[in-house]
Amino acid sequence: MTVNEIAKVLEELAPLAHAEDFDNVGLLVGDPNMKVEGVLVTLDTLENVVDEAIEKKCNLIVSFHPIIFKGLKKLTGSNYVERVVLKAVSNNIAIYSMHTALDNSKMGVNAKICEVLGLKNPEILIPKAKSIKKLTTYAPIADAENIKLALFKAGAGNLGKYSNCSYSLDGIGSFKAENGANPAVGKVGQIHSEKETQINVVFSFEKEKDILKALFNAHPYEEVAYEVLTLENTNKDLGMGMIGELDTDMDEKQFLLLAKDQMNASVVRHSKLLGNKVKKVAVLGGSGAFAIGAAKKAGADIYVTADLKYHDFYQAEDQLVVADLGHFETEQFTKDLLVDYLTKKIPNFAVSLSESITNPIKYL
């Protein structure tokens, strides 16, 4: 398989279009057409990870965090980022990053945290806004079903656990073909009326190009009338963080100790314990101070995240317990998730879990 072919497999789990605007995801280093001999999956791409890839004969590193985040103006090896890139290039190793594309996936980072903590019925904590679009088009009644099927095949019409969803309305369309036109129905120079069906389907924003291509290929008209609107509806299958429930209520301290143990954390920083039972737990791997308000609004008893500053703990406001288990600790299982996913999708391919330690934070 080539780098590009494996990238397409990864995009089935986490489309790059789902990444946040500030992020830098996808193929960061290497030739997309290079034949891949082996894949090494890691949380961070550091020099020791590149060395491990060389040792294991893996020429593609799939990394959660992007080693190149801001633009590089030179490559002299003066810092760890430049040294990693130089070593990867000199050893013909490609680097692919997923980061917030996987953060926003319903089966990504936060789903794995829910699994590790034993949370049931997980749902997206902050559904992504403006990520659902609606296509409205008009077609001869006889062609409407074929057009709908083409749109469904391209990814339109999915609503939660339902697929092939659409709304149709029959009516009369009219047009006049001018000189040079080649109308499928009617004649040049004459006003023509045609019994048509209005077709409405929704789709996830990253599929727009494929949806329109399918529409144009399936539609009999020379000029296709259509409109695409961005909806205010939120996408419950896409977004940051998750919230789930424990099978059995627990004391706050008991849960924090469980989370500390399950996530191999050296320490747990948390806001004041409230003496409440814990049932609903919100999680967000990595830096999650921005979601404290969403966790409160969702009725979470505890919010597990990382990288909280002093004043962030005040935001708990005695409404929930906010817990910081560490950035690495809350994201460390991501590489296990990716290894499992790739092994199932391409079972006859060499996929290795990185053994390199990349956590930069140490505790006494």
Helix ranges, 179-299 (H): 208-218, 252-262, 292-297
Q: Which of 25, 40, 35 is nearest to 92 (CA)?
A: 35
Amino acid, res. 289:
A
Contacts 24+ apart (CB under 8 A), 324-328: 324/268, 324/269, 324/270, 325/259, 325/260, 325/263, 325/265, 325/268, 326/263, 326/265, 326/266, 326/267, 326/361, 327/286, 327/287, 327/361, 328/43, 328/358, 328/359, 328/360, 328/361
State how far the alpha carbon of 83 is from the alpha carbons of 55, 88, 146, 296, in Å: 18, 8, 54, 43
Pairing outcome for strands 26-29 and 94-97: antiparallel
CA distance 64 to 72: 19
Contact status, residue 52 vs residue 356, Cβ threshold 8 Å:
yes
Contact yes or no for 179/189 (Cβ under 8 A): yes
Secondary structure of residue 37 in the 3-state scheme: coil
Residue 237 phi, psi dihedral angles, 5° rounding: -105, 10
Rounded Cα distance between 271 and 67, Å, is: 32
Query: Could you tell me which residues are annotated as the binding site for a divalent metal cation?
Result: 65, 103, 327, 331
Tokens of 324: 């910081």
Q: What's the sign of the alpha-carbon dihedral 298, 108, 106, 240?
A: positive
Assigned token pair, 22: 């500030």
- From the CB of residue 249, how many other CB atoms can be counted at a distance below 10 Å? 13
Residues in the annotated binding site? 65, 103, 327, 331
